[in-house]
Structure 1
Amino acid sequence: MHDNQPHAITPDTLPETITRYLKAHRTHDTATAITAFTRDATVTDDGATYEGTAAIEQWLSRSATEFTYTIELTGAQQTDAAHYAATHHLEGNFPGGTIDLHYRFTLRDHLIERLVIAP
């Protein structure tokens, strides 16, 4: 069945690259997090797009210090071999205090080529 509809998977079956990025991001380990991306990767977060590893590294460093929050992986989906999504529940001192964010990943050659973060 190839209808390109996302289907639920268990978070522990996400590809290693995504798991490595998520764990490093959660622990504010920018050096490890950046290794999960292709050199020409793009990240879209909060309405802004960051292109290339230098811009993504700056985004990671800033997002790690801007607010204090907890993050819990609450679900995962797979659309095909290159497209995955992870849902996180965040609680912290940012406007609103709680939010569920969807991290949509596109992989290329076992690395993250594109990441879009949105509610």
Structure 2
Amino acid sequence: MSIIINYRTMTLPDNIEGLIQAQNEQDSTRFSQYFTANATVSDEGASYSGRAEIEQWIQQATEKYQMQTKPIDYQQSDTSAVLTVEVTGTFPGSPIVLHYHLGLEDTLIRSLKITG
């Protein structure tokens, strides 16, 4: 998927593209499949472990805030990446820019830490 941002094109890896699509389509089951079985997520001071907790977390967050996520930057090394996104939704201060700090294991995500 190529996304035009500020008149430039950014190509995301298939797994990251799929993660964003699943989140925007509010498909929490598909979203969780981009994570390893024992992956961890840290968001708003809470931690979630394993696909079942990650699926429940993203389902509750997308239902509560009706979030839509637009990638604006992506930087990757061998086993980690930072995805910068603009998130809109029904929360105070929308839209906001967040950074998804990803730990990668092959084509899956082993950790995700979301920061402002």
Q: TM-score, normalised by structure 2?
A: 0.84
User: How do 1:69-88 residues align onto structure 2 when only pairs under 5 Å count?
Assistant: 69-78=67-76, 80-88=77-85
What is the Cα-based RMSD across aligned positions, in Å?
A: 1.5
**Higher RCO, 1 vs 2 (CA within 8 Å, ≥6 residues apart):** 1
Is the counterpart of residue 94 in structure 1 residue 91 in structure 2?
A: yes
Where do 5+ consecutive residues of structure 1 fail to align? 1-9
Q: 2:61 aligns with which of 63, 67, 76?
A: 63
> Higher mean Cα deviation, 82-91 or 69-78?
69-78
Where 1:81 maps in the other structure, the secondary structure is: coil
Is the counterpart of residue 106 in structure 1 residue 116 in structure 2?
A: no
Kindly, what percent of the aligned residue pairs are identical?
35
In structure 1, the partner of 2:45 is 47
Q: 1:26 aligns with which of 24, 27, 35?
A: 24
